[in-house]
Chains A and B, each alone.
Chain A
C-alpha cells in the first residue's frame, strides 16, 4: 500500500482565501499578526499497486482543474515550505465527497487499485509575532472549523495523514 498526496492550489485569485483574510483582519482583530492567507486542497489517495508517479498524474487529470489550478504530488510523506503555518482541516463526520471521489476513481475510471481517499483543506497562515503556532490554533478554532463536524491539525514540515474513506 502506498499513499499519494496531491497538494492542489489555485493559480487564479482565491476568493475564499481573500475572504478569510479580510474577515480575520477586519472582523477578528488579526490586523497586526496576520500577513497573508493561502489555501490548498489536499487529496491523499491510498493505492495497493501501480506506479505512484504515473497514478498521481492520472488522478491529477481527474481532480485538478488545470484551467485554474496547479498541483504537486508527494509520495507517502508530505512537505510544506517554511514561512507559514499549515493548518489542515478535514471533516470528522463522514466525508461524502471523498467517498464519491473514491468511487469515481474506482468505478467510472477503472482504478481498482485505489483503496482509500481523504480530502482536506490546508490553510496556510502567514503569521508575524512570537508564537505563530498558537495564533494558528486560535484562528483554526475561532474561524476555520466547526468542532461538531470538522477536525484540524497543525501540520509539521513532514506529516502523514489519516484515511477516512477506505474500501471495506
Chain B
C-alpha cells in the first residue's frame, strides 16, 4: 500500500477503505522502519499487533507504575497467557481473566461463548487442566428504555456461556450479574478460567532455547482458518454505537466447544509426549490478532525470527494472505517443537484424535520454522507477503494519555426513614441486583468433573477439590461494584479487591492472588483515562495494604488481567468497572463453610462496624432513586484483620455459616443467610448494638460498609470471640437462628422487619427471572 509521498488525507483514506484501523502516524512510522511502503498483509499484521487489545498501548505504563505482580507464591506473573500461583510445593493454580464485551453486545450468544472459549485456551496452553470458569456480567437496566435490547443481550450471553461451558465440560464456579443503565449499550462479559497443574510441568508460550538454531517446526492445530472474526481485535478497541452494529457483526468469531473438548484431550497427549521425551516445546493459543500474533510473539519473546508459509496452513477456503494472517478463527493452537517429534505430534491430532473426521477441515499442519534471523517472514503462493523486524512488530507502541478528573456534583440525600420496612426489605430482596442468581446458574453445569465442593448460590465463593487424593481446595470469587466506581473510581477499585478477598475468606479459604479485568470508556478522553488510573491506583493500593496472609507487607499479587477500553457509545461510557477475581486456597477443603443458616439456637455475630456509607447503595438506588456520595471505603487494617480473623475462625471449626456484607448491607446479608436453600430456619436479630451511637435504623440495615455475619457453632462462641480479639476487633452478638421461619429484625425494642420466610423467598427467587424474561 502506498504511503510514502502521499498526504495524510490520502493515507487515511486508503487505510480506512482497506479496513485498517491504525492512525496515519502509525502507518508512517511502519513505512519508515521498513524503509519502503508496507504490503497490505504487513499493515494488517501491524494493525492487529498494535491494537489496544494486543499491545496495551494506553494502559501499560499505568499498570506498570502501580500494580504489584510478584509474591512468594507467584510462579508466573502476568507475562504469558495466564498467571500461575503455587498451592503447595507440588501443585499450582493457573488463572486467566478476559473480557469479550463488544462482541457480546452485538451477537450475545457467539460473543459470550467465544469469551469462554478464548479464556480456557489461555489456561490450557500453559499445560494445565481447566477446572473452573467464572462469569462476571454487567447488563443494562432491564426495566429502562432499552429493556428489550438489554434482555435480548442478557439472555443471549447466558445462553452462550452455558452452551459453551457445559459442552466443553468445565464447571461454572462463580460469577456475578449487575444491571445498570450505564451498560444499556455496552454490556460487559468478563470471563475467568482456572486451571490446575503440577509446578514442574508448565509449558511456556515462547519458542524454547535452541529452537532457532535447530529450526524447530511451527505447527498449527485445530479448526481450519477462515475469515471469521476478521478485525475482531481492532473492533474491540473502538467505541460502539447502535448504527455500527450491523457492520460490526462480521467481526465476531464462531466458537465450537465440541472441537475444543477433543483438542484439550489431544493436548493432554501432547503434554504427555513432551514430558516422556524430556523436551521443551512452546505452546500458545490463537486469540486476538490470530496467527500473526501467536507466531510472532512466540518467536520474538525467545529472540528468534520466523519463516511462515501460509500455503501450508489448513484453511476453509482460498483466502488472501492478510486474512489468513490475522483472522481470529477459534479453536486453534500453535506448537513450536523439535523436528524429531513432528510425526508423533501430527499423529496425535490427525490420527489418534482424528480431527479431520471430528470437524471438517480440522487438523495439525506444519506451517513454518523458527530461525535465528530477526525477521517475521511470511510467504503466500510463492510471494513474500510479509517481511518485517519481528521485535518491531511485537513491540507495539505506547501512548501517554491525558487524565482529568470527571466533574461530578455528588451529595448525600436528605430522606425520611420509610415507615414500612417490611415493604422496603421485599423491594430490595427482589431487586435484580440483590435477588437470587439461581435463574442463571441453573443453566450452568456446576457439577461436571466431579470436583465441586461449594457451588454458586451456596456461599460467597465457589470451591473445588480438583485433585483426587489431595485434600486441598481452590476457591474462586469475582466482584466489582459499578455504583461505587461511578462515584469514586479509586474506592471502586479498592472495594472490588476487598470484597473479592472477603468472599473467598467467608468460606474459609485464604486469598492467594487476584486477577483484574479493567473495563472503561475511551482512553483518549481524559476523564475516562482518569477513571482508569484512579481505579488502578485503588485496586493496587488495596493489594499492597491487604497483604498475603502469613506475610507482613507482602501485597496480594495480581497475576493476570486484561484491559478493555472503548466501552462507550455517544451517550456515555460504562461505569468504571475494575472487575476482580480472587483465587483462594485451603489446605483442607472439608473445613469450608457455606452461608445458609445451620441450626436453631446458634448465635449470630457481626464483625465490621457500620458507617454512614450508603453512596451507591442498593437502598438509595432502589428505594429513593438517588446515588448519594459516601461510598464505602476500605479501612485497610480493619479489613485485613477481619479477613484474617474469619479465616482463622473457620479453620478452627468454630463457624457454622458465614456471609460477607456488601450490596444491600447487613439486612440483605442476614436475609440471604435465611433464604438460601434449604431455607428452613429463621433469625431474630437486634440491630441496637450494630451501629454507631445515634445511627439511624435504616442506615444500620443498609450501609454497605464491609463486614461479615457469622453463625457460630454451639459452644464455640467464646473461642470465636477470642480469635476476633486477637486481631483487635470488636465482636457483636446481634441475635440468633430461630426455628420460627421468620426474618425478624428489631431496634431499640421495636420490630423493624418481620417477614415470613416463604414470602421473602418468593420475591428473592423471582427477582432475577422477572428481570431477564
* Residues on A facing B (Cβ under 8 Å): 12-13, 15, 18, 22, 26, 65-68, 108-109
Contacts and interface: CB of A to CB of B under 8 A. Distances in A.
B115 to A, nearest CB: 15
A30 B306 CA distance: 45
A12 B254 contact: yes
A13 B246 contact: no
A51 to B, nearest CB: 22
Nearest to B148: A108
Pairs A-B, 7 closest by C-beta atoms: A18-B360, A67-B249, A67-B252, A66-B249, A67-B107, A108-B148, A13-B316
Contacts of A26: 357
B107 A109 contact: no
Contacts of A108: 148, 151-152
Contacts of B228: 12, 68
Contacts, number: 36
A67 B360 contact: no
Most buried by A among B110, B250, B256, B360: B360
Given A67-B107, A67-B252, A15 B359 contact: yes
A67 B246 CA distance: 9
Interface of B: 106-107, 109-110, 148, 151-152, 224, 226, 228, 246, 249-250, 252, 254, 256, 258, 316, 357, 359-361
Nearest to A21: B360
Given A66-B249, A67-B252, A12 B360 contact: no
A13 B151 contact: no
Given A13-B316, A13-B361, A67 B110 contact: yes
A67 B224 CA distance: 18
Nearest to B110: A67
Nearest to B109: A65
A26 B249 CA distance: 36
A3 to B, nearest CB: 25
A12 B106 CA distance: 18
A67 B316 contact: no
A7 to B, nearest CB: 20
Contact of A109 (B148, B246, B316): B148
Contacts of B258: 15
Contacts of B360: 13, 15, 18, 22
Contact of B107 (A13, A18, A65): A65
Given A13-B360, A108-B148, A66 B246 contact: yes
Most buried by B among A13, A22, A65, A68: A13
A12 B250 contact: no
A67 B252 CA distance: 7
Nearest to B103: A67
Nearest to B147: A108
Contacts of B256: 15
Given A22-B357, A26-B357, A67-B107, A12 B148 contact: no
Contacts of A22: 357, 360
A27 to B, nearest CB: 10
Given A18-B360, A65-B110, A67-B254, 12 more contacts: A12-B254, A13-B316, A13-B360, A15-B256, A22-B360, A26-B357, A67-B107, A67-B249, A67-B250, A67-B252, A108-B151, A108-B152
Nearest to A104: B152
A41 B254 CA distance: 18
A108 B360 CA distance: 38
A50 to B, nearest CB: 19
Contacts of A65: 107, 109-110
19 contacts: A13-B226, A13-B361, A15-B256, A15-B258, A15-B359, A15-B360, A18-B359, A18-B360, A22-B360, A66-B246, A66-B249, A67-B107, A67-B110, A67-B249, A67-B252, A68-B254, A108-B148, A108-B151, A109-B148
B243 to A, nearest CB: 14
B226 A12 contact: yes
B250 to A, nearest CB: 6
A36 B676 CA distance: 54
Contacts of B361: 13
B588 to A, nearest CB: 44
B261 to A, nearest CB: 13
B187 to A, nearest CB: 17
Nearest to A14: B360
B745 to A, nearest CB: 38
Contacts of A18: 359-360
B216 to A, nearest CB: 31
A124 B370 CA distance: 46
